[in-house]
């Protein structure tokens, strides 16, 4: 019983275990779930272009829905993906105002990632170079890479699917987005130090 650290214990697996334990009556395990997945959800929310306050509300709403519907969620192990879907939908709903509800399939695609001028000014030289290259990718690739970067390798495929990407767009194979990032960084003599 020596589990390999990367094989099965991705973020999604840990989140699924905590949620299953919560459903089984270990109330305090929900805190663990919140701590585990909040960074991924924050980046999933922010990558939709929502204002910080909107993103905070969306994440909070997603968790409240999770608690509310805890018993009716079919696959506790897939809780991370469930939360990503709800967060993404909530950001768009809040951004558009509560005039009308719309389903997952109507959620528009994420815009190109933006960083505030202030945020850009605090980047290191290397981060500035990386940001320049990330900006050349398609908006969908930017969104995907930003969100999966906060998860673990076993989670990539499920997260990509939750974001509405086609099956096979990433994990276990590299996929086009990671390949493009690799190519553009590889072609920059200033990156390969």
Partner 1 sequence: MTSHTDAIDARDLANLGQVRDLFAHADPVPGDLAERIKFAITVEALHAEVAELMDSALLVTRGTDAKVEPTPTDSVTFTAASVSLMVSAGPDDSDDTDDRVRVDGWVTVPGAQVEAVTTEGSSSVVSDANGRFVLDDLPHGPVHFVVTDPGNEDMRPVITPTIQI
* 20 touching partner 1, by CB under 8 A: no
**Neighbour count for residue 164 (Cβ, 10 Å):** 18
* 39 touching partner 1, by CB under 8 A: yes
* 18 touching partner 1, by CB under 8 A: no
**Sign of the dihedral through C-alpha 121, 123, 127, 130:** negative
* 188 touching partner 1, by CB under 8 A: no
* 138 touching partner 1, by CB under 8 A: no
Cα(173)–Cα(80) distance, integer angstroms: 21
Looking at the Cβ atoms of 106 and 168, the one nearer to partner 1 is 168
* 87 touching partner 1, by CB under 8 A: no
* 81 touching partner 1, by CB under 8 A: no
Looking at the Cβ atoms of 69 and 106, the one nearer to partner 1 is 69
Cα(79)–Cα(19) distance, integer angstroms: 7
Looking at the Cβ atoms of 64 and 102, the one nearer to partner 1 is 64
* 31 touching partner 1, by CB under 8 A: yes
**Are the C-beta atoms of residues 47 and 113 closer than 8 Å to each other?**
yes
Cα(147)–Cα(12) distance, integer angstroms: 13
Which of 1, 68, 97, 101: binder of partner 1 (CB under 8 A)?
A: 68
The nearest distance, CB 13 to partner 1, in angstroms, is 17
* 172 touching partner 1, by CB under 8 A: yes
Which of 9, 73, 95, 176: binder of partner 1 (CB under 8 A)?
A: 176
Nearest to 119 by CA among 41, 52, 40, 48: 52
Query: What is the distance, to the nearest Å, from the Cα of residue 176 to the centroid of all Cα atoms in its chain?
Result: 18
167-176, long-range: CB < 8 A, 24+ apart: 169/144, 170/144, 176/141
Binding mask 89-108 for partner 1 (x = CB under 8 A): --------------------
């Amino acid at each position: 019983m020596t589990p390999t650290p990367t094989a099965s214990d991705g973020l999604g697996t840990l989140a699924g275990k905590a949620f299953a334990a919560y459903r089984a009556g270990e109330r305090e395990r929900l805190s663990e779930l919140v701590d585990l997945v909040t960074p991924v959800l924050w980046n999933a929310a922010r990558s939709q272009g929502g204002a910080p306050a909107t993103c905070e509300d969306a994440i909070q709403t997603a968790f409240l829905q999770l608690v509310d519907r805890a018993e009716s969620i079919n696959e506790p192990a897939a809780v991370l993906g469930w939360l990503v879907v709800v967060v993404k939908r909530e950001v768009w709903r809040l951004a558009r105002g509560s005039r009308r509800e719309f389903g997952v399939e109507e959620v528009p695609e994420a815009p190109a990632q933006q960083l505030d001028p202030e945020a850009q000014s605090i980047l290191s030289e290397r981060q500035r170079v990386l940001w320049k290259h990330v900006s050349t990718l398609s908006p969908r690739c930017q969104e995907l890479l930003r969100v999966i970067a906060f998860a673990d390798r076993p989670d990539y495929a499920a997260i990509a699917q939750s974001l509405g990407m086609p099956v096979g767009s990433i994990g276990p194979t590299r996929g086009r987005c990671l390949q493009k990032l690799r190519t553009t960084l590889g072609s920059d003599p200033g990156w390969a130090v």
